[in-house]
Structure 1
């Protein structure tokens, strides 16, 4: 907004989740815990919560 900024793209950090693709198998086995809702449902709920929280701020 009114500024001229240059976007610089760097290399991903080695521990970047997009790169390493975390697997919860070990945690599931060791802790005997499994997700109760799907990733897509969890994202829907998270986004809905976030938007409701932001509604009071804007």
Structure 2
């Protein structure tokens, strides 16, 4: 499980961009653990795979 900060670093984006993606229903899926958002590595990997698939399609 990764924090918002760790996920942003891995995806080379900002924490604010992750929150914006979440608000728009984009980006990797996250779950709340108390007051914190956490990301499973499998969700991050699936998000990256979707990005590659979309770019390959056109």
Which TM-score band applies after superposition, normalised by the shorter structure? Answer: 0.3 to 0.5
Q: Give the alignment's TM-score, normalised by structure 2.
A: 0.34
Q: Which has the larger radius of gyration?
A: 1
Task: State the structure with bigger RCO (CA 8 A, min sep 6), 1 or 2.
Answer: 2
**Higher helix proportion (structure 1 or 2):** 2
Q: Of Structure 1 and Structure 2, which has the larger fraction of its residues in strand?
A: 2
